Amino acid sequence: MDITFKKDKKALQDEVIRKSMDLEENGYKPEIEECELEGKFITISPTCIRCNLCAEECPVGAISKAKAGKRAKVLENCVKCEICAQTCPVKSIHVLETISSVNEEDVKYRLRDLKIPHRKLKMKSISVDKEKCDSCPMCVKFCPTGAIKIDGETAVIDTGACIGCGACVNVCPEGAVTLERELGPVIKTKMLDIDREACVSCGICEENCPVEAIKLEDSEIVFSEDKCILCEVCSNKCPVGALKLERVTNES
């Protein structure tokens, strides 16, 4: 998905004026200069199947767990590492890049849905405890492949159709479903470029890294690639541009 839409610059100026009436009374007149701003956000669509893989795999606890009545939600402490999008078995999590630009006549907004590769997910074994199952339809409702059906008084699983997402395990009110699955490693889609000559040893990267993957020792950067989750924190916080996060692929 790649969407571009425009807005008249005068309309934006009018909005700014309405929101700054108090300042205008003191002689302030808003001016909107030509500029371009880039951003990124992650969102979970209504097609969420309640499997909670995203919440379980988020390295910073930035996703609230789904329940039968509500889908998972990305929280404000998200660091945009994209691990959740790689993990979602049904592509319900979208990573969106935004570019907003202002020129003499209008404001242009561009929204692009990045193609994120998906980790390997495989069901190894799954079973239903017939003593616990009360044949409610919750597992059937959320199974993305139609692998579960109610047969008489218990749920029956087609193991050939099951992908091992775990939605049934999460929504079953009786805890009747047991699943063992295999989840592949996170795919490296970005790389962190460190300019050691530009580094001023301020320590901001170390203070803000959510997983302690980057440190300063004797005024030198020590980087742990194994710990790094390739989020955007250190590169966005670095005041001298010594840390740059570059995407190497976004093909799914």
pLDDT tens for 200-240 read: 999 999 999 999 999 999 999 999 999 999 999 999 999 99
- The pLDDT, as a whole number, for residue 101 is 85
- The pLDDT, as a whole number, for residue 15 is 72
- The pLDDT, as a whole number, for residue 83 is 98
- The pLDDT, as a whole number, for residue 146 is 96
31 or 217: which carries more pLDDT confidence?
Answer: 217
- The pLDDT, as a whole number, for residue 252 is 45
**Mean pLDDT (the chain, rounded):** 90
- The pLDDT, as a whole number, for residue 26 is 60
- The pLDDT, as a whole number, for residue 36 is 82
249 or 182: which carries more pLDDT confidence?
Answer: 182
For the segment 26-31, the average pLDDT, to the nearest whole number, is: 63
Is 240 within 8 Å of 199 (Cβ atoms)? yes
Within 8 A by CB and 6+ apart from 19, the residues are: none
- The pLDDT, as a whole number, for residue 113 is 92
- The pLDDT, as a whole number, for residue 130 is 93
- pLDDT surpasses 70 at 197: yes
- The pLDDT, as a whole number, for residue 23 is 57
- pLDDT surpasses 50 at 62: yes
Q: Band of the pLDDT at 131, cuts 50, 70, 90? A: very high
Q: Band of the pLDDT at 109, cuts 50, 70, 90? A: confident
- The pLDDT, as a whole number, for residue 1 is 64
Q: For the chain, list the domains and their CATH numbers.
A: 2-113 (3.30.70.20), 121-183 (3.30.70.20), 190-247 (3.30.70.20)
- pLDDT surpasses 50 at 160: yes
- The pLDDT, as a whole number, for residue 32 is 72
- The pLDDT, as a whole number, for residue 105 is 77
- pLDDT surpasses 90 at 6: no
